[in-house]
Amino acid sequence: MSTNEMFSFMDILILGCGGYLFYAWYLLKFRGEVKKGILIPSGNSSKCKDLPAYQKFMSPRLLIFALSAVFAGGLGLYSDYVKPLNNYVYLGFTGIFLVVLVWFTSEARKGERNYFS
């Protein structure tokens, strides 16, 4: 597998994960369902102490994470198949996505600690 194919595959995965994150955001925001594995990193299956407060806490964070994933994956695919972008721009947006990933993980753990028993 060449480097270009590897980056294309990674971009497809990031874009697909972004779509799934939007689905998880929709379930949390409008149906009050918490997706285990995304929003509860340790897999704690206990009940939420205060679901409306948890929704208010996690919904914007999950939306930011979903937008960054879709944007990074879409920009990568655009760069791979439509018009090549400067490598620094591509890697910069991928780096921003990774920073948002680390931030979201810490926020999800904080939400788990505060709102789940």
Total number of domains constituting the chain: 1
Which CA distances in Å does 103 have to 77, 97, 99?
24, 10, 6
Domain that residue 24 falls in: 3-115
CA 68, 71, 74, 75 torsion-angle sign: negative
Please, which residues bridge with residue 116 across strands?
48
Residue 67 has pLDDT above 90, yes or no: yes
CA 63, 105, 92, 24 torsion-angle sign: negative
Q: What local confidence, expressed as pLDDT, does residue 42 receive?
A: 63
Percent above pLDDT 90 for the chain? 46
Average pLDDT, the chain: 86
Lowest mean pLDDT among 42-46, 53-57, 80-84: 42-46
Taking only the tens place, the pLDDT of each residue in 90-104 is: 888 889 999 999 999
CA 12, 14, 17, 21 torsion-angle sign: negative
Taking only the tens place, the pLDDT of each residue in 14-40 is: 999 999 999 999 999 999 888 877 777
Residue 45 has pLDDT above 60, yes or no: no
